[in-house]
Structure 1
Amino acid sequence: MSSTGVVASQSERIDVLFEELAELTGQRNAIDGRIVEIVAEMERDGLRGVTGARSAAHLVAWKTGVSPSRAETLAAVADRAEEFPQCVAGLREGRLSLDQVGVIAQRAADGSDEHYAALAATATVAQLRTALKLAPKPRPEAEAETDPDADPQPEPDPGPQPSVTRTSDEQYTSWYIRLPHVEAAVFDAALQSHRDALIADWKRDAEKFGGAGDQRPRLPSLADAFLRLVYAGWDAEAAERPHGQRTTVVVHVDVTDRVGSLHLGPLLSDADRQYLACDATCEVWFQRDGRTLGAGRSTRTVNRRLRRALEYRDRTCVVPGCGATRGLHAHHLKHWEDGGLTELANLALVCPYHHRAHHRGLITIRGPADQLVVTDHAGRPMTSASLARPPTQPPPDVAPCSGPTGERAQWWWYEPFRPQPPPSVN
């Protein structure tokens, strides 16, 4: 066969393979789009809470067996699906990939759906990232335009003042910290130092699990670093106090009605009372008919030797699909107030989220430790295996996706997305 015939044969073969690749790519994109819709529906209707998953990304990584980074992308697209309907429609129709829409959902400003949906039809993921970097950053509210007819009232500037504000809702407490640049630089350096230490531990854990999607711990965040910074200061202060104790939580419990309250504080729910008595430095005072009977043991923390044995046995949070390895609590399988002993057979390592979820009834952890059973809100046994199985339905019927053109972008011709100013009110 001549060289011309060989080249023609290879070209025809490549065309056939590319055609199949385009078909499979479109089907894969459409499947990812349907997964996004399912995750968005579960978040919208509050269904995730009964599964025992810490977050939407954790649920996706657990139940689909994908990597944490891909699960974060799926969760990000699901979270902003209503803000980017055209981009999500392109994903559902197989025209856009999850990575393309994920970059947009994770970084794009509100109101830019039409702009980036058109750009994603031809741009690669790297080009979309560049386009998003070129977009103007939103101005802080303090720099917003004011009424030009208003008379300015200059006030003396006291200089930057540190401040801390706190807000709470039913699930979370939010702290807003405002620091001058000098103090902020010190805080940033300390925060980054603790995050580097957490990441070093995370890498060791990731190598231990070999990158398995359902066991690999999530990458430590700045919130984790902030908590580590708090704990470090707390431990340093505790070492200087008599007997090396931490701050003690004092709880008053009525032995007749099993009603507990904080010292000079509000009543506690059954879940919070059992949570505090499980693995915390907690001083419990027993009362009957308003009279103090005496104090219980002043601490529920596990000693170092028992903690090491527990960590060697469980290694991670015992809740299937979790895999958390940092900040784990030693949970009493039979509650301390019910006579549960602080011994290895009655203890299990759980992450803070699942520890509270158990005491609130969202999941159930039953022992002894060698016969551990974990069930969800409906009583279904939880397993670390993903839901993947051989398909029984045909793939989605969508148009083939040939992908972006991949041509060199001429950025001097590109017009970045610019948010429209709100209409003025006369």
Structure 2
Amino acid sequence: MSPTASLAIDDRLSELFDELSELTGQRNAIDGRIVEIVAEMDRDELWAAAGARSVAGLVAWKAGVSPSPAETIAAVAHRLEELPRCVTGLQDGRLSLDQVGVIAQRAAEGSDEHYATLAASATVTQLRTALKLAPKPRPEPSTDADSDPEPDPGPQPSVTTTTDEQYTSWHIRLPQVEAAAFDAALQSHRDALIADWRCDAEKLGGAGDQRPPMPTVADAFLRLVHAGWDAEAAERPHGHRTTVVVHVDVTDRVGSLHLGPLLSDADRQYLTCDATCEVWFDRDGRTLGAGRSTRTVNRRLRRALEHRDRTCLVPGCGATRGLHAHHLKHWEDGGLTELVNLALVCPYHHRAHHRGLITIRGPADQLMVTDHAGRPMTSASLARPPTQPPPDVAPCSGPTGERAQWWWYEPFDPHRPPSVN
């Protein structure tokens, strides 16, 4: 190559690098503003009012991005006040969203200054390595030095529960051997759920942002309960199965769980809509019967419903597993169990509808989904041509990216006292 041609290539690369540096700084600053907006939605829980399942779900839906960058934005937004230097670097255009996202997702509390300084020269891969080198949190030492240690009785299994207005939390403590068997059972059921999840993802093709959420350990636990509890139901007293029993007073429209607490109006409507439960109607303290036998969708109708709807019909969701057949005109209000009065919705949006966060109106061929303020919900993102000039920030050339000499690197340790200059 002649010197003249080489010089022309260098000049062209310099021009392109200059433009890339300027656009990268502007993009980083725009991402910083997006993080601020999402942080406000996270702080005030506005994502739930919009009908989304989570902050990351709202970002993926409204920004038209895939789940991975949406989770990164949500992670930075959640720690906005905890990482002021890193976020300022993002807003000034000096740091990228991926750099700050790695820190927000993995860094220990109090490490903002350490990683903000490191990110000025480290690539995303180098930041991940640095975070892996950080020591794990150490347990706090006991302050009760005068108490005599009691003899260790050995590992003892225990199960404790705590209940609030919406949830019941289970804390299960098992010895190592029993815990290993429990872990193996959970992993087996989660593997089966993930296999189904991948099949659904392949059917959706390239629509990555519409894929159902990855099955969690909680999903595997519920699958374990449903698979094992009913296996020997015939041998149990009265043939008990994993069926929720609800009592509803037809006069006062008051519902309660069998031998349990009263239900809110939203939970009563949710359970009597299509959840797999047994509903008994009472009047003046006397049981009348189990109501209309057509409340629950039969197999034939369910198949027709799945063929028509395929996924949760709430825009921006796309879940395909564990869907409920929702009565558009509530069953307790006289709605019929027919195809025109049914729609598939995921459990989250089913509850959200009965709690008033979203509204689903029918019939099925004229379905309308609105948020709590009555705004129609659509699956389209909010992206549109910009009307404002790009942020006025300094160009960003990116991290220096020199080879990391890890033997000289001192990882962040929250227990180390700060150095004094």
TM-score range, shorter chain: over 0.9
CA RMSD in angstroms, aligned pairs only = 2.3
Which whole-Å deviations, capped at 9, do the CAs of 1:18-50 have from their partners, x for residues lacking one?
A: 111111111111111111111110111222221
Distance in 2 separating the partners of 1:422 and 1:353: 46
> Compared with structure 1, are the counterparts of its residues 202 and 190 closer, same or farther at alpha carbon in structure 2 (3 Å cutoff)?
same
Stretch moving more, 291-300 or 263-272? 291-300
Stretch moving more, 21-30 or 300-309? 300-309
Shift of 1:86: 0.8
Distance in 1 separating the partners of 2:234 and 2:287: 31
Stretch moving more, 337-346 or 150-159? 150-159
> The residue matched to 1:72 in structure 2 has which SS?
helix
Distance in 1 separating the partners of 2:281 and 2:115: 63
Which whole-Å deviations, capped at 9, do the CAs of 1:259-282 have from their partners, x for residues lacking one?
A: 222333332222111111111343
1:54 maps to a residue whose letter is R
Map 1:12-411 onto structure 2 (within 5 A): 12-141=11-140, 144-146=141-143, 150-151=145-146, 153-238=148-233, 246-297=241-292, 300-411=295-406
Query: Are the aligned partners of 1:282 and 1:298 in contact in 2 as well (CA < 8 Å)?
Result: no
Structure 1: state its 5+ residue gaps: none
Overall identity of the aligned pairs, in %: 85
Query: Are the aligned partners of 2:358 and 2:369 in contact in 1 as well (CA < 8 Å)?
Result: yes
> The residue matched to 1:411 in structure 2 has which SS?
coil
Distance in 2 separating the partners of 1:161 and 1:184: 11
Distance in 2 separating the partners of 1:206 and 1:120: 35
Shift of 1:245: 7.7
Query: Are the aligned partners of 1:166 and 1:174 in contact in 2 as well (CA < 8 Å)?
Result: yes
> Compared with structure 1, are the counterparts of its residues 167 and 243 closer, same or farther at alpha carbon in structure 2 (3 Å cutoff)?
closer
Distance in 2 separating the partners of 1:29 and 1:139: 35
Structure 2: state its 5+ residue gaps: none
Distance in 2 separating the partners of 1:136 and 1:40: 29
> The residue matched to 1:225 in structure 2 has which SS?
helix
Stretch moving more, 325-334 or 205-214? 205-214
Which whole-Å deviations, capped at 9, do the CAs of 1:152-201 have from their partners, x for residues lacking one?
A: 51321111122223334444433332222222222222222222222222
Query: Are the aligned partners of 2:294 and 2:337 in contact in 1 as well (CA < 8 Å)?
Result: no
> The residue matched to 1:22 in structure 2 has which SS?
helix
Distance in 2 separating the partners of 1:171 and 1:393: 44
Distance in 2 separating the partners of 1:252 and 1:193: 36
Query: Are the aligned partners of 1:281 and 1:299 in contact in 2 as well (CA < 8 Å)?
Result: no
Query: Are the aligned partners of 2:210 and 2:316 in contact in 1 as well (CA < 8 Å)?
Result: yes
Which whole-Å deviations, capped at 9, do the CAs of 1:368-394 have from their partners, x for residues lacking one?
A: 111111111011111011111111111
> Compared with structure 1, are the counterparts of its residues 293 and 192 closer, same or farther at alpha carbon in structure 2 (3 Å cutoff)?
closer
Q: For this pair of structures, how many residues does the alignment match?
A: 418
Distance in 1 separating the partners of 2:122 and 2:336: 61
> Compared with structure 1, are the counterparts of its residues 264 and 152 closer, same or farther at alpha carbon in structure 2 (3 Å cutoff)?
closer
- TM-score, normalised via structure 1 length: 0.92
Distance in 1 separating the partners of 2:296 and 2:139: 46
> The residue matched to 2:49 in structure 1 has which SS?
helix
